[in-house]
Structure 1
Amino acid sequence: MNQDYIKPDSWSIIEEGFDTHRVKSSESIFSIGNGAMGQRANFEEHYSGPTFQGSYIAGVYYPDKTKVGWWKNGYPEYFAKVLNAPNWIGINVSVNGEQLDLFTCKKVDNFKRELNMQEGWLSRSFTATLQNNIQIEVKTKRFLSLDLEELGAIEYHITPINNDAQIQFQPYLDGGITNEDTNWDDKFWDILKVSHENNRAFIETKTMKTFFYVSTFMESKVYLNNKGLFLNPDINSEHNYISFDYNHHVKKGETYSIQKFGGYVADRNYDKTELVSVSKQILDKAITLGFDGLLKKQKEAWANIWERADINITGDVKAQQGIRFNIFQLNQTYLGKDSRLNIGPKGFTGEKYGGSTYWDTEAYCIPFYMATKDEKVARNLLEYRYNHLEKAIENAEKLGFKNGAALYPMVTMNGEECHNEWEITFEEIHRNGAIAFAIFNYYRYTGDYSYIPEKGLEVLIGIARFWQQRASFSTDKNKYVILGVTGPNEYENNVNNNWYTNYIAQWCISYTIENIEKIMLEYPADYIRIIDKLKLDKLEIEQWKTVADNMYFPYSEKHQVYLQQDGFLDKELIAVSSLDKSQRPINQKWSWDRILRSPYIKQADVLQGFYFFEDQFTTESLERHFDFYEPFTVHESSLSPCVHSIQAAKLNRMDQAYQFYLRTSRLDLDDYNHEVHEGLHITSMAGTWMSIVEGFGGMRIKDNKLSFTPKIPKQWEAYSFKINFRNHILKVDIGHKQTHFEILSGSELEILVNNKSILLTTKQLQAV
C-alpha cells in the first residue's frame, strides 16, 4: 500500500493534518536545498517524537572506517559519509514556561505544510493546545537562498488565541550533532570556538580526519505585530551550543515573531582564518535585504530556473506535480556552479549511500542538465571525473591492474573508491562504461568536441586499458570473456559474462580508438601531448582491438535474446506477476541467498544497454528483449522505471509507459518502496525528465540533428517542455492532434519529426 497523504497540486507539495507516524517521511519529502547546502524539513521548534534531524554542506564529508567481517586486498578503507552539520535552524519556543512540542501537545489542529516549488520556500501552519491549556496559532516560512548560497532564512510567527501569554523564543546553534548513518559512532566534528556578538552567534568547527573548517552562524530579530522590538536576550553558551532567549508578554490575538538568518561558511571556498568575518558579511547583507527582500530574490531566482526547466502537463495534476517535484529537487541538489561537486543519490535529504557520487550522474543526470541549463554545467560534471583520473588509476592499481588502467569508483567523494560491499566494490565495473558514455553523449548532444582532445581522451584511454586487462581469453569459447561481475541488476553477484558489461566494454574500446584516430588527424598537438604523457603505442591499441573484436556475448537461440549472463536460463523463470504481493519488495522480504538464485531483476540490465545503444539494435530486437526481461523485473531500484518507460513508449505501449512514468515521478511522493523516510531518490529524478522528453517526446540525436517522435498518454490533454540544444532554446508543445515547435532563441534549426526534415526559424510557430 503506497502512501497517499500528499495533496495533488500543480506547483506545491502539500500535507494537511498532523500524524506523528509520517513525520520522518515528510522530513524527506519537504527537504530544501540550494546546491551548496540543504536540510531535511525538521521542525524549528523542539520535537520529542521520532525524527531524523539533518543539515548538510555540499562537499563536506567524513571517511567513516569501513566495517566488514573480514578484510580483502584492495578493500576501501573507508565509506565517505555526508556529514550531518551543526544545526542552525533551531528555535525553541515556550509559552508560559511550557515548551512547544507537537508530540506532547494536547491537540494539534489545522496543520498544513507546503513546499512551494515555483518560488522555492517551505511553510508550516497549525493551531495547538498545550498541556497548560494555552491555545496558540503558529505560522512559519523558511528557504535557503539561491543568491547568497551560504544563507538561509526563517520567519516564525506565534499568536496566543485564548489568553495572554509569556512567550519565549530561543534561537540556537547546536554543534553537538551526530550522523544517523555511522559505522562506529565516531565523533565527526571538533568544536573549536563558540562566540557571540550583539544578536549574532558563531560556532567554529572542523571535521575529524578530513579537516574541513566550518563557521555556523545565526542572527535573529524579534517583532510584535510586525514592529521591531529591541530586546536584550539572555545568552546561554556552552562548549558546543549557544542560544539567545527573547522573552515577551503577548496579549491574546497579538502576534510575536522572530526572523532568524543562519547558515554555513566553509573553507572549501574561503581561507579558514576568515570564516567568521565572512559569516558577518553575509549577515550584513541578510539584514540589509531583510526577510522579504531575500524572499523576493528567491522567487526571481526560481522563476529563472523554471523558465528553462519546467515541463507543463495539462489534464493530469498528479503527473504534473510529480515531474515538477523531480525537477525542483534536482535543482535544489546541484546547480552546476562548482565542478568539485556532484549529485549524490540522496542529495541533501538523507544519509543513505553516503551522499557520494555514483554512476547515476553519467547515466541519468547529464542529459537533464545538458538540456535545461548551459552546456558548461554538463561539462563541469565531465571535468569532475577528469579531475579524479589519477585516483581512478590508483583504484585499479589496488586491484592489480597496471599501465595506467583506470577503474572509476562505484562510490566516491574525492575519486577514491569508498563503497563497502565487496560485490559492488570489486565487481560492478560497468560504472566505467557510463563515464565513457557520458563523454560520447555530451559531444553528441552539444556538438562541443573540444572536451575530448583537452581532457576526455585521457579518461577514455584509462578506461580502455582497464577493459583490455579485465577481459580474459577463453580457449573453450575462443572469445574474450569478463568473469566475476555484477551488472546493473544487483540481484545477481559474481556472474560471468554479464551482457551489458561485455557490450559496454567493447563499445568503450572501439570509441576510444575512434577518437584517437580523429585527434591524430585533427588535433595533432593534443595527440602528441597525450601519446607522450600516457606512453601509448600502436601495439597496445592493437591489443585493445583484439579484445573488442573478439568479445563474447551470451545468446539464446531458443528465445532469440542476449542473455543477461551465462547462467540466466538455469534459473526457474517465474514471472513477477506470479509472486504473491506479500513477498514484495523482495529485498525486504527474502534472504539474499534466495534473491541471488531467483530470476528477478532489480533494474534494467540488458535493457539498459538497449537504452544507451538504441541505434545499434532494431525495434523488433528491442521488443523481443523487452518482452523477455520486463516480466522478471521487480523495479526495486529507483533507476529502473524510467528506462522501461522510455522503451515502452518507443514500442507504442503507452499505457505501460504511462504507468512506469507515474512510478518514477511519484516514487517518493507515493513512497513506492516504503523507504522515503531515509531520504529522496535524487539521481533517479532525472530519469523522470527523460521519461517525458525522451520517452513520450521521443527526443533523440540522429544524423547530428535533433529528432522527435512525439506521443502523448491518453490521460493528458497536452504537455510542453523546453530544451537548450546547441545554443538554441526550443519549445515543444505536444497534443493529441498536433505538435508545435518554436525557437525562442538562436538562429534557424533543422530538426527531424517522425524522420521528416523540418526547418525551424525564429519567425514562426511550426505545427506538425
Structure 2
Amino acid sequence: MDGFLLTYDGFDPRTEGLREALTSTGNGYLCTRGAAEWEDADGVHYPGTYAHGGYNRETTMMGGLPVLNEDLVNLPNWLVLQVRVEGEDAIRFDDVELLGYRHEYDIRHATVLRRLRFRDHAGRETTLTSRRFVSMADAHHAGIEWTLVPENWSGHVEVISALDSRVTNSGVPRYRQLEGRHLNPVSPRTFGPEVIALKAETRQSNIYISQATRTRVFQGGEQLPATRTLYQMEDYIQQVLAFDVRQGEATRVEKMVAFYTSRDPAVSDTLVRAARSAARHSDFAGASERHGAAWEELWRTCDVGASGNEQVQLLLRLHIAHLLQVCSPHTADLDAGMPARGLNGEAYRGHVFWDEIYAFPFFNVRLPEVTRGLLMYRYRRIGEARAAAREAGFRGAMFPWQSGSEGVEETQRVHLNPLSGRWEPDLSRNQRHVNAAIFFNIWNYFQATSDYAFLESYGAEMMLDIARFWASIAHFNSARERYEIHGVMGPDEFHEKYPGAQQGGLRNNAYTNVMVAWLCDIAAKLPSLLSASSAEGLRARLGIGDDELALWQDMSRRMFVPFDSGGIISQFEGWDELEELDWDAYRAKYENIQRLDRILRAEGDDPDRYKIAKQADTVMLFFLFSDEELREIFERLGYDYGSDTAARNIAYYDQRTSHGSTLSFVTHAGVLAALDPESSWERFLVALRSDVDDIQGGTTQEGIHMGVMAGTLEVVQRYYAGTQIRDGVLYFTPRLPSGLDGLSFPLQFRETPLLVTLGGGQLTVAVHPDGASHPIRAGIPGDVRELCPGDRAVFGLA
C-alpha cells in the first residue's frame, strides 16, 4: 500500500458523494470537491467549491415565520469539462459502458486522478485520464489536464469548457427546505480567443466572485489550433473546442483556472484580475510542478511517520493533507476561521465551532502562523462578542457557539430531526464553553511559541475579556461559599435543559466550571506576564482594577464542582437524579444508537431524562489537562483528587456515552492511552477510519470532520508520543501502543525546529542546526536537558 495514495476501483454511485469529499483538492484559500468534471449535481455527484469567508445570509419562510441562516456559499462550478464525439451528446457515466475505472487521490500533492475506459453506444472505445489540483503554490490558481486516447476509432471531437454560476447550496438533504440560492449573476466575458470569465455576486453579503479559464488542446507536444465556439448567458459561459483525433494517439486538454473575490487584497475588478491571471497562467506541467514543490515543503514540516501499520500511516497522512487544504500558510493572511466541516461540503453551514481546540495543537508546533491567523479571526470579532455579552446582561466578551462572517451567533433556532421528520428547537447556543476553548487556545499557542507580540497586542485582551464574561455569568452562592454558573450546556449536547423544563440550560456543568477555575487563575496572573507598559495600557483600556483581578483569583479557588454520592464528578448538578437507560435494549432495537437523542425524540421520549451523553463532556477535562494539572486545579478548589480519580470517572462515563460525535472516540482514545492501552488503540482506529468509512452513515459526504481528523493527530502527538508543553519545558511521556512500532515527526518549539523519533525503547530529540540561537529545555519527567542548535539527545524509556 502506498503511504500517500488513496484508491477506489470501480464506479459506485452509492459512495460517490463520500469519495468526492475525501478526494477534495484545496490550498487553504479555497477547496473543490473531488467530483468528475463531466457530471452535474444530480443526487449522485455534487461538484462544490468553497472559499474562506464566502458567506451569505438568506431567509426562509416556514409556516409564516422567517428563519434566517448564514451559509458558506457553494461558488460557481469551474470544473465543467465535457466531451462530445461526432456531434452526439456529452459523455456521462450513465450514457456509457465502463470497461475500467479507477479514482485515485495523491495525498502527497493533493491531486485527484481518474482513469476510465468506456464504450459508447456506437461501440467506440476511449480511454480518458483526468488530473486536477488546486494550487498550493499560488492560492488563486487551479488546473485540469485531460488525456484522451481513442482506442478503436478516429473522428471529430468537441470539448466543452465552461464556468457555471447556476449553482445552489443543496448538498445537505436536511437543509433542502431552507433557501439555497446565494448567487446573483453579474456578467460573463471573453478576453481574447482563449480566455472566458464569469462574475457573480452573493445576494446579501455582496461579495463578488470571479473565475476565468484558459483552455488549450495539444497533440504530440504541439498546441492544436482547435475551432472555438462561444455560448453565454448571464450566469453561464462556455467555449466549445472542436478538433479531430486519431486512433491510438493521445490528445491533451488543459484547463487552467484563476479565482478572485472582492475579499482579496490588491484587487480592483475581480473579473479583470481573474482573466489577466488566467491568461498569464503557465501550462499544466509547470503549474503542477510548482504546486508539488509547495506541498513537499509542507510535508517536511508536517509529516507524521508511523511505522508498523501501513493503513494507519496512510490515514494519518490523509488527515494531515485535509487539514492543510483547509488551513495552510495561505490561510494565515486571510480573515478566516476553521469551519468544523472544512471547505469540503455544506454541513454545519460552514460555521466555526470549538473544533479548533483539537486542531490548534498540530499547528502550534508546525505552522504557528496558521494558529495565529485563525486566532485573529476571533480577535476581529471581539466587538460582536462584547455586544452579545451586553445584550445578554453580562460583561466582557461572549463569543458565539457558531460563528460565521461577522461573529454573531449563527446557531439555528430549529433543526430537523431526520428520524422523525420534525423541526425541533435548538438550544445549543447555550454552549458557552466555546469561550473557555478560545482562552485555552490562546494560552496554548503562547506556551508553544512564546509569541509575546501577539499576546500583548491581541491575545491578552481576548483572555481578560473572556475571564470578565465568566465572572459576570457566575454568581456566588453564600450557602455553599462557592461560585456557580447556571443556564449553560456542556459539550455533551444530549442535555439541553432539565426534564420538563421550559427554559434551556443546566446548572454547574462540571467541565465548564473547572475550565473557568483554570482560566481565572491564569487571567489573574496575566498582566504580570506582560511588559509594564503593555499591562498598564491594557488594564486602563479595559478598566480592569485590582478588585477584578482579586475576584478572578477567588473564583479560581472557589468554583463549585458537583459530585455524586460515590465521588464521581457529576456532569452537571442534578445528573444523579436522572434515570439510567437500558442500553442493551436500545442496542438490540436499533442498529446504531450513536444519535440517541434523535431516537428518543422520535419515540416521543426525552433524552434530558437519562444519564446518557452524546460525547465526552466531563471526560474532556482528562483529555485537555494532564493528571498533574487537574490535581493542582482540584486541590486549589479544595476537592479531593486521588490516584484513581481519572480512571473511575472515565470508566463511569464511558458506559453512558453513545459516541454520537466522532470527536468522542478521539477524546476517549486519548484519556485511555495510559489506563487501558488496548481500548485506547481500538477507539483511535475507529476515529481514524470514521471519515474514510463514513461511520455516521452519510455525514462525511456533507463535509469532512476537521476536529476528528486533527484529533487523531493530537492523540498520536499528545498521548502516544506524550508531547506536552508546561512551564516552558517540552515534555515527552511516551505511551506507544502495541499497534505501532515507532513514530517520527518534526516539531517547532519556540522558533526551534526539532525532529522527534520514538521506538526501540528510546526517544530521540534532534535540534536542527539552523534553529533559533537560544537553547530550549526538553526531555522526559526526571530528565530534562538544555538543548542548543545541532544537539541530539537520546532518552531511554522504561
Note whether the superposition's TM-score is higher than 0.5: yes
> Which residue of structure 2 aligns with residue 79 of structure 1?
69
1:709 is matched with 733
Q: CA deviation at 1:476?
A: 5.5
1:621 to 630, 640, 645: 645
Answer yes or no: is the 8 Å Cα contact 1:586–1:595 preserved in 2: no
Asked whether the equivalents of residues 471 and 547 of structure 1 are also in contact (C-alpha less than 8 Å), the reply is no
Aligned twin of 2:635: none
For 2:366, give the aligned amino acid: T
TM-score calculated relative to the size of structure 2: 0.89
Task: State how far apart, in whole Å, the 1-side matches of 2:91 and 2:700 are.
Answer: 24
Q: Please, which of 406, 409, 412 is the counterpart of residue 417 of structure 1?
A: 409
Superposition deviation, residue 567 in structure 1: 2.3
1:247-284, Cα deviation, whole Å (9 max, x unpaired): 22222222232100113111111466432332233224
**Residue 561 of structure 2: aligned partner:** 553
Work out whether residues 576 and 633 of structure 1, in 8 Å CA contact, stay in contact via their aligned partners in 2.
no
- 2:5 counterpart of 1:12: yes
- In 2, Cα distance between equivalents of 1:20 and 1:182: 21
2:245 corresponds to which residue?
250
Change (3 A) 1:218 1:253: same
- Contact 1:573/1:599 (CA < 8 Å) preserved in 2? yes
In the alignment, which of 341, 344, 347 is matched to residue 346 of structure 1?
341
Residue in structure 2 matching 1:139, options 129, 132, 146: 129
Once the two structures are TM-superposed, the CA of residue 30 in structure 1 deviates from its matched residue by 0.8
Higher RCO (C-alpha 8 Å, min separation 6): 1
C-alpha contact 2:612 2:657 (8 A) present in aligned 1: yes
Contact 1:554 1:564 in 2 (8 A): yes
Preserved contact between residue 587 and residue 593 of structure 2 (Cα < 8 Å): no
Cross-structure match for 1:752: 779
1:50-90, Cα deviation, whole Å (9 max, x unpaired): 2222111221110233777898xxxx984321101111110
Tell me, in whole angstroms, the C-alpha distance in 1 between the residues paired with 2:674 and 2:454: 31
Once the two structures are superposed, what CA deviation does each residue of 1:107-145 show, in whole Å capped at 9, x if it has no partner?
Answer: 213211111111221110011122232221110000011
Q: How far apart are residue 218 of structure 1 and its match?
A: 0.8
Within 1, Cα distance between the matches of 2:83 and 2:239?
12
Q: Take 2:271 and 2:592, find their aligned partners in 1: how far apart are those partners?
A: 51
Q: Kindly indicate whether the alpha-carbon contact (under 8 Å) linking 1:34 and 1:332 is maintained by their aligned counterparts in 2.
A: yes
Asked if structure 1 preserves the Cα contact closer than 8 Å seen for 2:595 and 2:658, the reply is no
Pairing of 1:512-551 with structure 2 (within 5 A): 512-516=523-527, 518=528, 523-551=531-559
- The structure-2 alpha-carbon separation of the partners of 1:277 and 1:270, relative to structure 1 and needing over 3 Å to count, comes to farther
- TM-score of the superposition, structure 1-length normalised? 0.92
The answer to whether structure 1 residue 170 and structure 2 residue 170 are counterparts is no
Distance in structure 2 (CA, Å) of the matches to 1:141 and 1:609: 45
Query: Tell me, which stretches of 5 or more residues in structure 1 are unaligned?
Result: 1-7
Q: Indicate the SS of the match to 2:507.
A: coil
Q: Residues of 1 paired with 2:761 and 2:265: CA distance?
A: 56
SS across alignment from 1:243? strand
Match of 2:702 in 1: 678
C-alpha displacement at 1:569, in angstroms? Answer: 2.1
Q: Shift of the alpha carbon at 1:151? A: 0.9
Q: What one-letter code is carried by the residue in structure 2 that aligns with 1:116? A: D
Q: Which amino acid aligns with 2:278?
A: L
Residue type of the alignment partner of 2:545: D
Question: Cα offset for 1:528?
Answer: 2.7
Matched, 1:648 2:672: yes
CA 1:547–1:119: 2 relative to 1, 3 Å: closer
1:730 matched to 2:751? The reply is no
Amino acid in structure 1 at the alignment position of 2:327 = Y
Write the letter of the residue equivalent to 2:443. F
Residue 109 (structure 2) aligns with: 119
The reply on whether 1:601 has 2:613 as its aligned counterpart is: yes
Work out whether residues 463 and 508 of structure 1, in 8 Å CA contact, stay in contact via their aligned partners in 2.
no
Alignment pair present for 1:41 and 2:34: yes
Judging changes above 3 Å, is the alpha-carbon distance between structure 1 residues 713 and 259 closer, same or farther for their aligned structure 2 residues? same
Helix, strand or coil at the partner of 1:440: helix
- Quote the sequence identity (%): 24
Residue 57 (1) aligns with residue 51 (2): yes
Query: Judging changes above 3 Å, is the alpha-carbon distance between structure 1 residues 646 and 203 closer, same or farther for their aligned structure 2 residues?
Result: same
Q: Specify which of 205, 214, 220 is matched with residue 210 of structure 1.
A: 205
Q: CA 1:201 to 1:327, structure 2 compared with 1: closer, same or farther past 3 Å? A: same
Matches within 5 A, 1:264-283: 264-270=259-265, 273-283=268-278
What CA deviation, in whole Å up to 9, does each residue of 1:349-379 have, x standing for no partner?
1001111211112x11211111112x33322
With over 3 angstroms needed to count, the CA separation of the structure-2 counterparts of 1:620 and 1:577, relative to structure 1, is: farther
- Report the CA distance shift for 1:339/1:246 in structure 2 as closer, same or farther (over 3 A): closer
What pairs up with 1:401-550 in 2 under 5 angstroms? 401-402=394-395, 404-421=396-413, 423-424=426-427, 426-474=429-477, 477-494=480-497, 495-516=506-527, 518=528, 523-550=531-558
Partner of 2:284: 291
Q: 1:409: how far off?
A: 4.2
Whether 2:766 is the aligned partner of 1:742: answer yes
Preserved CA contact (<8 Å) 2:55 2:404? no
Instruction: For 2:136 and 2:89, locate their aligned partners in 1 and report how far apart those are by CA, in whole Å.
Output: 33
Separation of aligned partners in 1, 2:778 and 2:265: 46
Contact map agreement 1:352 1:678 (CA 8 A) in 2: yes
What is the CA–CA distance in structure 2 between the aligned matches of 1:367 and 1:104, rounded to whole Å?
A: 45
Distance in 2 between residues matched to 1:546 and 1:77, nearest whole Å: 43
Alignment-derived partner of residue 5 in structure 1 = none
Question: How far has the Cα of 1:529 moved from its partner?
Answer: 1.9
Q: What's the CA shift string for 1:2-44, capped at 9, x where partnerless?
A: xxxxxx5411111111111111111111111111111111111
Q: Point out the more displaced range, 291-300 or 124-133.
A: 124-133
Structure 1 contact 576–631 (Cα < 8 Å) conserved:
no
* 8 Å contact kept, 1:163–1:252: yes
Note closer, same or farther for the CA distance 1:540–1:709 as it changes in structure 2 (3 Å cut): closer
Q: Which moved more, 1:53-62 or 1:102-111?
A: 102-111
Residues 65, 398 of structure 1: CA spacing in aligned structure 2 closer, same or farther, 3 A cutoff? farther
Counterpart position of 2:658:
634
The CA distance in 2 between the partners of 1:379 and 1:259, in whole Å, is 37
- For 1:591, the aligned partner's letter is L
Displacement of 1:301 after TM fit? 0.7
Q: 1:586 to 1:713 in 2, by over 3 A?
A: closer
Indicate whether 1:658 and 2:677 are aligned.
no
How many residue pairs align between the two structures? 747
1:443, distance to aligned residue in structure 2 (A): 2.0
Which residue in 1 is equivalent to 2:362?
A: 368
Match in the other structure for 2:794: 766
- Structure 2 regions of 5+ residues with no counterpart? 414-424, 498-505, 632-641
Per-residue deviation, 1:165 = 3.2
Query: Per-residue CA shift, 1:120-175, capped at 9, x if unaligned?
Result: 21110011122232221110000011122111100012222222232210000111
Seen in structure 2, the aligned counterparts of structure 1 residues 67 and 488 have a Cα distance that, compared at 3 Å, is farther
Distance 1:46 1:671 in 2: 23
Offset from partner CA, 1:596-655 (integer Å, 9 cap, x none): 33333222111112222321236532112111111222222122222222211132x221
Q: Which runs of 4+ in 1 moved over 6 A?
A: 66-71
How is 1:176-191 mapped onto 2 (pairs within 5 angstroms)?
176-180=166-170, 181=175, 184-185=178-179, 187-191=181-185
User: How far apart are the structure 2 equivalents of 1:14 and 1:106?
Assistant: 22
The Cα shift of 1:205 comes to 1.6
Conserved 8 A contact 1:100-1:130: no
Of 259-268 and 39-48, more deviation after overlay is shown by 39-48
Q: Specify the code of the residue in structure 2 equivalent to 1:391.
A: E
